[in-house]
Amino acid sequence: MVTPELSQNKSHYSPMAKASVRNKTSSWFSDGFLYLGGALLAFLLVWSVWSYAVPNNFDPKMNTKSAATTRNQQCVQEKPEVNLRYDPPEQTFYDDQELSYSIEKPIRNWDEKRKEWLKHHPSFAPGARDRVVLVTGSQPKPCKNPMGDHLLLRFFKNKVDYCRIHGYDIFYNNVLLHPKMKSYWAKLPVVKAAMLAHPEAEWIWWVDSDAMFTDMEYKLPLRRYDYKNHNLVVHGWEKLIYQRKSWTALNAGVFLIRNCQWSMDFMEKWGSMGPMGPDYAKWGQIQRSVFKDKLFPESDDQTGLIYMLYQDKNLMDKIYLEGEYYFEGYWVDIVPTYDNITEKYTELEKEDGKLRRRHAEKVSEQYGVFREPHLKEAGSGKGSWRRPFITHFTGCQPCSGDHNQMYQGETCWNGMVKALNFADNQVLRKYGFVHPDLLDSNTVTETPFDYPDEGPW
């Protein structure tokens, strides 16, 4: 392309300075051709660079509106799973002045009331069948045992960790909701109140303050209990109820109860054996007359539940005695197995890189599914090297310190520390650390990239 300055110089020196009209037209055509060629070359250059910078699926015909739509689809949608800000003006059971949360006053037509509430709150309906609220608690006063409050805090942290990983809600209660229903009976008023406070939840899961989760990946097999529409799940053995007549045939410190009218009616009968009932002293005598190994004279919730099952075997149609995994396990049998379990799980992860892959805490359940095929030979229950689901420190009394005299208190405290760190390692692992020594709560080690193939143990 000829610059203006060069054109002026040519006009001054060239003998053809006074060209004809034809020559001017030819020159103009030549310059235009050069201009168009340069423009085409520039366009091809820009297009080549653009094709590398823009993804292959880029459509140059896409308008501004469609581009904005694509951006919105790629971003995280700000629509919550449930609408926590919507409570319609239509009346529900909450507007009934006769409604009482007290364990003493019965609830009627609860199934219909729950159904109506869900109808008015449609965002809660999807997933309601699998929704669980974990309920636990402790006494309203500080612990007598100097270590008690610290231990209860760690027990609670363990439950919070488990619920966060699996998407469960949790409620911690530390007041008596009925002045007479103390000690082991205090759980029933709380469970009933939780049912009324959470109509969106299908299950209320009571877990004693001295019980903890020691398999953070395992999730409740709720479909198992839906198969025959069981409404109450406890860890126990039918043979011990009907043949041996033992008051330890099950453990009521951990139970899963369906949020339905059957459960309301059942807890009403169950609770009538407690201190709020007129025949409390009589029930203690009846229980001891049937279950000879019962150690104390007062009526308690566990023996009361076993007595109801003993008297009416048809209750087995609604109550599931879970014995296929440690829905609740006795700590004395479990704690000594932690070291061997850790070694076995470490071996599995060394063999299968998928199990030791770093991942976000939110997808922990998937890695529990990945691990299951490797655990087919592990067994379950006593003698198994599978992680126990729940370890229960019955008899240790971490708050009062009045432990069972059949074992030393130091055994209880060391066992709790070891169990808490065993469970905590499964949580800390997602954050890049572990306790190398299960009896040392203060020390953690950062996990290398391919841990445990190159870990501290």
**Spatial separation of the C-alpha atoms in residues 172 and 177, rounded to whole Å:** 13
Identify whether 221 is preceded by a cis peptide bond (ω within 30 of 0): no
- How much is the pLDDT for 39? 55
- How much is the pLDDT for 41? 54
- How much is the pLDDT for 80? 60
Which helix (H) or strand (E) segment holds residue 329: the answer is: strand 329-330
Q: How do 250-258 and 232-236 pair as beta strands? A: antiparallel
Q: How do 203-207 and 169-173 pair as beta strands? A: unpaired
**Is the whole model's pTM more than 0.85, yes or no?**
no
- How much is the pLDDT for 241? 97
CA distances, 362 to each of 217, 222, 355, 450 (Å): 11, 20, 15, 20
The counts of H helices and E strands in the chain are 16, 11
Expressed in percent and rounded to 5, the helix, strand and coil fractions of the chain are 50, 10, 40
- Looking at the structure, give the CATH architecture of the domain made up of residues 110-209+219-324: Alpha-Beta Complex (3.90)
**Spatial separation of the C-alpha atoms in residues 158 and 103, rounded to whole Å:** 29
Residues counted in the chain: 457
pLDDT < 70: residue spans in the chain: 1-80, 409, 454-457
* Burial status of residue 322 (CB atoms within 10 A of its CB: 0-12, 13-18, 19 or more): buried
Nearest to 328 by CA among 242, 236, 448: 236
Residue boundaries of the structural domains of the chain:
110-209+219-324, 332-446
- How much is the pLDDT for 53? 43
Tokens of 443: 């020390």
Helix/strand/coil for 132: strand
Identify whether 452 is preceded by a cis peptide bond (ω within 30 of 0): yes
Q: How many CA atoms lie within 13 A of 252 on its CB side?
A: 22
